[in-house]
Amino acid sequence: MSNAKNSSADNNELSFEEAYSHLEETVHALEEGELSLAEATRLFEEGMRLARICNELLISAELKITRLQTAFGEQMRLLTEEKKESAED
């Protein structure tokens, strides 16, 4: 149970870029070989976990949209507000 909690906490912390680059490093380390069986198994589990995090991040992502303040943006905003007000009047 505590493991599952830890891994979901890690999910929140890791960005896709971090998870993906760790995944690549893990595969690379395994390919290098000359590891003890225990170490290889640990890397395998870590790699599978990172692959799952990457997939989850990709699947669950929602595009976030923000607007920066520019002079033009302000003008547009004021115009729409004026229109609203005159419509209300």
Partner 1 sequence: MKGWARLPVYSVSQITRYLKDVLEADALLRDLWVRGEVSNLSHSAAGHYYFTLKDATNQIRCVMFRPALGGENLVDGGAVAAHGRVSLYEVRGDLQLYVDLVQPEGVGERHLELERLRVKLEAEGLFQESRKRPLPEFPKRIGVATSPFGSVWYDIQNIIQRRFPLVELALAPTPVQGDGAAAGIVDAIEAMNREGGLDVVILARGGGSLEELWPFNEEAVARAIYSSRAPVVSAVGHETDFTIADMVADSRAPTPSAAAELVVPDSEELGKRILFHRRNLFQQVSGNLAARSQELDQTVYRMQRQAPDVPSWRQRIDDLSNAYRRALESYLVMRGERIKALESRLASLSPNSVLARGYAVVQRQDDSELVTSVSQVASGDDLQISVKDGIFPARAFS
Which residues in this chain contact partner 1 in the complex, by CB under 8 A? 15-17, 20, 23-24, 26-27, 30-31, 33, 35, 37, 40-41, 43-44, 47-48, 51, 54-55, 57-58, 61-73, 76
Least distance to partner 1, CB of residue 34, Å: 10
Q: Which is nearer to partner 1, 4 or 65 (CB)?
A: 65
Q: Which is nearer to partner 1, 62 or 85 (CB)?
A: 62
Helix (H, G, I), strand (E, B) or coil at 55: helix
Least distance to partner 1, CB of residue 89, Å: 26
How wide is the angle at C-alpha 7 spanned by C-alphas 5 and 10, nearest 5°? 110
How wide is the angle at C-alpha 66 spanned by C-alphas 62 and 70, nearest 5°? 160
Instruction: Write out the two tokens for 86.
Output: 């005159």
Alpha-carbon 59 to chain mean position:
10
Q: Which is nearer to partner 1, 2 or 36 (CB)?
A: 36
Dist. CA 65–CA 88, nearest whole Å: 30
